[in-house]
Amino acid sequence: MAKTVTPHANPTDTKEQISWRERFAALGNLPAFFRLVWETSPGLFLGNASLRLIRAAIPAATLYIGKLIIDQVVALNKHTAGSTPDDTNYLWWLVAAEFGLAIISTALGRAVSLMDSLLGDLFANKTSIRLMEHAATLDLEQFEDATFYDKLERARRQTTGRTVLLSGVFGQVQELISVAFLAAGLAIYNPWLLLLILLAVTPSFIGDNYFNQRSYSLSRSWTPERRELDYLRFIGASDETAKEVKIFGLSNFLIDRFRSLSWEYFLKNRSLAISRAGWGTLLTALGTAGYYGAYVWIVMRAVGGQISLGDLTFLAGSFRQVRGSLEGILLQFSSLTQEAIYLQDLFDYFAIQPSIHSPGIARPFPNPIREGFVFENVGFKYTNSERWALRNLSFTLHAGEKLALVGENGAGKTTLVKLLARLYDPAEGRILLDGYDLREYDLMELRRNIGVIFQDYTRFKMSAGVNIAVGDIDERTNQPRIEASAQRSLADTVIAKLAGGYDQQLGRSFGKGVELSGGEWQKVALGRAYMRDAQLIILDEPTAALDARAEYEVFQRFGKLTDGKSSVIISHRFSTVRMADRILVLENGTLLEIGSHYELLEKDGRYAELFGLQARGYQ
Ligand SMILES: Nc1ncnc2c1ncn2[C@@H]1O[C@H](COP(=O)(O)OP(=O)(O)OP(=O)(O)O)[C@@H](O)[C@H]1O
């Protein structure tokens, strides 16, 4: 049976430093990112970009009109006697223009955030779908690897968070254009003012960069622990684990583990947040000092009469805005590069390629299978294990044959089945189907022709009908077929007792779901084997949870179903096993014996011994 991956237990303190080179390199992810956003919705993308462009010109225009208004007011005050109604009208036109700009700016701001959020939602959905689509192509082995899970977890977080990047980059461009307008105005008066602004914002930029990088390193190096926290939260409060948590009194153990791990993470984050706040205040104060230095200079020029009152407000306003915007741009830049680095995680995940796939030109799948499957010296080792799970395995599963696999726990029975379905490929030797390597056939075709019900089958929290239809999901609306399958697997009697019949939600996670007993679930899961029109049907301990009468009936029906088809049954019950044409006995991953029930009894080897043990138990 497949082993679950346990998350990292000990927090790692490894600091993953990100250099400036890597930051700039991460910006290289932006084109691919924008392609994704563009594919999400070209209309929203273009609309967003154009509205932001228009909005970028508004601050400079507003300030300039403000300057004109003040100059006009001053002029009117000086020459009250000589002013014409045209002068006053001009003033009111200016005020109206500024009011108009304010309204347009607010409306554009709202429209832009609306588009941001719509695009963000669509983007999150699209990326989640791509994530699932990509997961479907990957190898089972990759799912059993902890580092893969770390990558998957980081990628999953990207699906919702990356819209920040989207509005970030758009906002950045908008701000840059705004600043260009304002800076042009400033430069006309005095280019040195621009330099002063740059100097004023540099310290806080450097500080922020530093802290952004540290927070990324922290969050990255804590990925396994964050996964463990999620896992603890799940097993601490889930219907799947509730009974064992109660019976064994595990809640304090789980809570303590959660508390200590989350506290440790909190402490690390807290110390980072505190030093960030302290340094941030100090460095921003430096910038503020620079700003007021320039302000004093402008005021003195106004007092000295070198510039008008309108110029004073325009300059002071532009100066304040340019400083704010530049600070924003630089800060954004550092968080942008950080976001772009996170983006790398998403693309890293998409770049993972499966090693098990179909050949470029696939051989047509035999229908019917004529000779059968031949294992030639097959060996297989799980990547995270030193031990051979199977070794030197050679035998033939003839077309139409019913084969039973027997062996102690861990002997390699489930592994053998997984190799047959190409969930893994052999590390040594090969498996042939009608004379050709399994790898020469189309993977989807192969899987379509093999139906496997694993001992750890999934209890989908969906309707009873869907739980059977997963055996051939394209036929999920074929009610007669679902019912016929249910009848063969004895699930019909289970479903007849459910208030909602085939539409009854199973499991207690959603709505009015009901829970089934272990044996009832197994009958439902067995229905999947009958749904599938496969040439080889494999049942991995299919009746372990069934009562004796149900087991007998299931096998009577299974015998009929598989007439003319090949089947493999894994079972520890010899009453089931003896019905097979041949029995293959595995020990420590190698073939010990193979033959019919009577041949093996006559041989008086391991099978005879195990059979005798069980038979005596019933006497
Ligand atoms: N995903 C995995 N990663 C690493 N080792 C594994 C994995 N799955 C199984 N193994 C190991 O491979 C060996 C064979 O396991 P397998 O599940 O094939 O045994 P089995 O005969 O089906 O046992 P059981 O009767 O208990 O179901 C065991 O030693 C097991 O620990």
Query: CA 431 to CA 376: how far, in whole Å?
Result: 6
**pLDDT of the residue at 4:** 34
The answer to whether the beta carbons of residues 40 and 122 sit under 8 Å apart is yes
Query: CA 162 to CA 389: how far, in whole Å?
Result: 42
Least confident of 237-246, 348-357, 570-579: 237-246
Query: CA 295 to CA 402: how far, in whole Å?
Result: 91
Q: Is 389 in the pocket of ligand 1 (CB under 6 A)?
A: yes
Element (H, E) at 131: helix 85-137
**pLDDT of the residue at 302:** 85
Q: Which domains does the chain have, with CATH numbers?
A: 22-351 (1.20.1560.10), 366-449+536-619 (3.40.50.300), 454-533 (3.40.50.300)
Q: In this predicted model, which residue has the larger pLDDT, 10 or 503?
A: 503
Tell me what percent of the chain is helix, strand and coil, each rounded to the nearest 5: 65, 10, 25
Query: 11 pLDDT band (50/70/90 cuts)?
Result: very low
**Parallel/antiparallel/unpaired status of strands 566-570 and 536-540:** parallel
Q: Is 412 in the pocket of ligand 1 (CB under 6 A)?
A: yes
Q: What is the mean pLDDT of residues 358-383?
A: 91
Query: 14 pLDDT band (50/70/90 cuts)?
Result: very low
**pLDDT of the residue at 465:** 94
Q: Which residue has the tokens 């102690």?
A: 408
**pLDDT of the residue at 502:** 93
Q: In this predicted model, which residue has the larger pLDDT, 85 or 189?
A: 189
Q: Is 140 in the pocket of ligand 1 (CB under 6 A)?
A: no
Burial class (CB in 10 A: 0-12, 13-18, 19+), 24: exposed
Query: 43 pLDDT band (50/70/90 cuts)?
Result: very high
Give per-residue pLDDT as tens, 274-327.
998 999 899 888 878 877 888 888 888 888 888 888 888 888 888 888 877 887
Q: Which residue's CA is the closest to the ligand 1 atom numbered 24?
A: 409
Give per-residue pLDDT as tens, 109-134.
899 889 888 888 888 888 888 888 98
Query: CA 238 to CA 256: how far, in whole Å?
Result: 17
- Residue 206, phi then psi, degrees to nearest 5: -60, -45
Q: What is the mean pLDDT of residues 454-478?
A: 90
How far is C-alpha 481 from the geometric centre of its chain's CA atoms? 35
DSSP states of 469-517 as a string?
A: HGGGGGGTT-HHHHHHHHHHTTHHHHHHTSTTGGG-BBSSSSTT-B---
Contacts of 305 (CB under 8 A, 6+ apart): none
Least confident of 122-126, 166-170, 202-206: 166-170
The answer to whether the beta carbons of residues 51 and 112 sit under 8 Å apart is yes
Query: 6 pLDDT band (50/70/90 cuts)?
Result: very low
The answer to whether the beta carbons of residues 94 and 65 sit under 8 Å apart is yes
Atom of ligand 1 nearest to the CA of 412: 18
Q: Which residue's CA is the closest to the ligand 1 atom numbered 25?
A: 409
Q: Which residue has the tokens 């207690």?
A: 508
What's the token pair of residue 398? 């003839």
**pLDDT of the residue at 111:** 92
Centre of ligand 1 from the C-alpha of residue 189, in Å: 78
First-last CA distance in the chain? 31
Residue 379 scores a pLDDT above 90:
yes
Query: 159 pLDDT band (50/70/90 cuts)?
Result: low
Q: What is the mean pLDDT of residues 239-252?
A: 81
Residue 12 scores a pLDDT above 50:
no
**Parallel/antiparallel/unpaired status of strands 536-540 and 388-398:** unpaired
Q: Pinpoint the alpha helices (H) of 138-190.
A: 140-143, 146-161, 163-189
- In eight-state DSSP terms, residue 441 is B
Percent of the chain scoring above 70 in pLDDT: 93
- In eight-state DSSP terms, residue 370 is S
Centre of ligand 1 from the C-alpha of residue 3, in Å: 7
Q: Which residue has the tokens 């939602």?
A: 121
Q: Is 18 in the pocket of ligand 1 (CB under 6 A)?
A: no
Q: In this predicted model, which residue has the larger pLDDT, 480 or 185?
A: 480
* pTM more than 0.80: no
CA distances from 53 to 182, 249, 331 (A): 15, 61, 20
The answer to whether the beta carbons of residues 313 and 70 sit under 8 Å apart is yes
* Sheet with 566-570, edge to edge strand ranges: 450-453, 536-540, 566-570, 402-407, 582-587, 590-595
Percent of the chain scoring above 90 in pLDDT: 27
Q: What is the mean pLDDT of residues 454-476?
A: 90
Query: 162 pLDDT band (50/70/90 cuts)?
Result: low
Atom of ligand 1 nearest to the CA of 572: 25
Paired residues of 363 in beta bridges: 441
- Residue 285, phi then psi, degrees to nearest 5: -60, -35
Mean pLDDT for the chain? 84
Interface pTM, i.e. ipTM:
0.96
The answer to whether the beta carbons of residues 364 and 449 sit under 8 Å apart is no
- Residue 162, phi then psi, degrees to nearest 5: -75, -10
CA distances from 424 to 191, 443, 532, 549 (A): 68, 12, 22, 36
**pLDDT of the residue at 160:** 63
Q: Is 587 in the pocket of ligand 1 (CB under 6 A)?
A: no
Centre of ligand 1 from the C-alpha of residue 545, in Å: 20
Q: Is 544 in the pocket of ligand 1 (CB under 6 A)?
A: no
CA angle 453, 455, 457 (to 5 degrees): 60
Q: Which residue has the tokens 């700003």?
A: 291
The answer to whether the beta carbons of residues 493 and 545 sit under 8 Å apart is no
* Type of residue found at 481: R
Identify which of 384, 385, 587 to mutate to test ligand 1's pocket (most ligand atoms within 8 A of the CB): 385
Q: In this predicted model, which residue has the larger pLDDT, 81 or 19?
A: 19
Residue 476 scores a pLDDT above 70:
yes
Query: 100 pLDDT band (50/70/90 cuts)?
Result: very high
